[in-house]
Amino acid sequence: MSPIRPAAWIRNLSVVLAGTGLLVRFAVQDRVPGLDLLYYALPLPVIIGLLLVAAVLSLRLGKKRSALACFLVSGGLLVLWMSTGAAWHRCVARAADFKVLEWNTAHGRSGWAGIVAAIRRQNADVIGLVEADAQPPATEGFWKGQFPEYSVSAPGSGLVLLVRGEIRRIEFQEFGTKSRLAAARIVVGGMSVRVVLVDLEANPMSRRKLLLEHVTAVAATPFAGPTLVLGDFNTPGDSVWFGELRRTYSEVLEKAGSGLLATWPFPMPLLGLDHIWVSKGLVPLCAGKRTGWRSDHAQVWSELGFAGRSARRPAIAGE
């Protein structure tokens, strides 16, 4: 018996991985510990890539029907990905009350001067940074020096909050193995807003259910004003464990963005790990992301309005 040729072995492995990924994605998602690793490791673009590899190798092996089947399935999944993994919204023609920016700065490995310049270009009023532990233990002093016109708080573990307004109170929590959050009360645009800045652990073996339950519980604590929940969740937005948060919060890229939702890794984002969630007291008017070599995570930004305000702005050409 002749051994299986390498092309046939790679083709068969690609088909098996793609089939397993589809089964997990559409049957159990990330509900089951262990199988959730496959859900995160095999997002739709990866499955599409595996099927295209199988299709090309099938043609080389003379299996035209198999190649056609792989091409057709990958094409259908591409349409599905573009409809569920992307958003296509125009900016609302209304003056924003403030702009928010979230970014994982990857511990400044690309150089803090360039990172500071990239943040300044966004001209945001509320800036939530993750892995922003510049010059520890003098992190807060560093950011105050770079942004003297902002109120600055660096409560710990690389979390940094900058507000063009006031930070009146902030509480830092560590949970899980290496997860943390900071819950702050701020004043921006003349209104009181709660900000929950999140950095969840990257360990794929961690129970996302428990981590997101903790974040949701903090976000659900009674507060008189609207709430922002933002940061690096290390969990894709299509995870079932965002279900409880979605009951009362909206994700800005999904609600007001235009383009693919994936934010990690650079240069080919496959997973939407970075999020800005807003409560019903805030209206996402426009949202987007900006990728670049300075971090493996994209910047996520949004222009927000307070619910009940209706001041209009002139339409911008091209919007």
Mapped to the 3 state alphabet, what secondary structure does the chain carry? CCCCCHHHHHHHHHHHHHHHHHHHHHHHCCCCCCHHHHHHHCCHHHHHHHHHHHHHHHHHCCCHHHHHHHHHHHHHHHHHHHHHCEEECCCCCCCCCEEEEEEECHHHCCCHHHHHHHHHHHCCCEEEEECCCCCCCCHHHHHHHHCCCCEEEEEECCEEEEECCEEEEEEEEEECCCEEEEEEEEEECCEEEEEEEEECCCCCCCCHHHHHHHHHHHHCCCCCCCEEEEEECCCCCCCHHHHHHHCCEEEHHHHHCEEECCCECCCCCCECCEEEEEECCEEEEEEEEECCCCCCCCEEEEEEEECCCCCCCCCCCCC
Structure confidence at residue 319 (pLDDT): 35
The whole-number average pLDDT for the span 170-185 is: 97
φ, ψ of residue 19 to 5 degrees: the values are -65, -40
pLDDT reported for residue 5: 82
Give pLDDT, residue 315.
38
Last residue of a domain, which of 23, 54, 84? 84
Q: Does pLDDT of 39 surpass 80?
A: yes
Q: Structurally, how many domains does the chain consist of?
A: 2
Least-confidence region, from 103-107, 236-240, 313-317: 313-317
Per-residue pLDDT reduced to its tens digit, 106-126: 999 999 999 999 999 999 999
In a domain, residue 311? The reply is: no
Does one domain contain both 20 and 130? Answer: no
**pLDDT score of 21 more than 90:** yes
Give domain status of residue 317, yes or no: no
Residue at which a domain ends, from 84, 100, 129: 84
Q: What is the mean pLDDT of residues 70-86?
A: 96
With respect to residue 318, please indicate whether it lies within any of the assigned structural domains. Answer: no
Is residue 150 within 8 A of residue 163, CB to CB? The reply is yes
Q: Is residue 61 located within the same domain as residue 114?
A: no
Whichever domain contains 253, its CATH number is 3.60.10.10
Does 1 have pLDDT greater than 70? no
Residues 150 and 37 in one domain: no
Which residues constitute the domain of residue 56?
A: 6-84
Q: With 50 as the cut, is the pLDDT of residue 181 above it?
A: yes
- The pLDDT of residue 274 is above 80: yes
Residues 94 and 235 occupy one common structural domain: yes
Q: Does one domain contain both 65 and 122?
A: no
pLDDT of residue 22: 97
Do residues 150 and 230 share a domain? yes
**pLDDT at residue 311, as a whole number:** 52
Do 99 and 46 have their domain in common? no
Are 186 and 77 part of one and the same domain? no
In which band, very low, low, confident or very high, does the pLDDT at 93 lie, cut at 50, 70 and 90?
confident
pLDDT for res 60: 92
pTM: 0.92
* 160 and 224 inside one domain: yes
Note whether residue 312 is domain-resident: no
Same structural domain, 144 and 163: yes
Q: Is residue 192 part of a domain?
A: yes
Question: Which pLDDT band, with edges at 50, 70 and 90, does 310 fall under?
Answer: low
On the question of pLDDT at 317 being above 50, the answer is no
Per-chain mean pLDDT for the chain: 93
Based on the domain organization, do 68 and 121 belong to the same domain? no
In a domain, 316, yes or no: no
Confidence of residue 136 (pLDDT cuts 50, 70, 90): confident
64 to 8, 13, 53: CA distances (angstroms): 14, 18, 14
Q: Output 205-210 pairs: Cβ under 8 A, ≥24 positions apart.
A: 205/37, 206/176, 206/177, 206/179, 207/33, 208/30, 208/36, 208/235, 208/239, 208/241, 209/241, 210/176
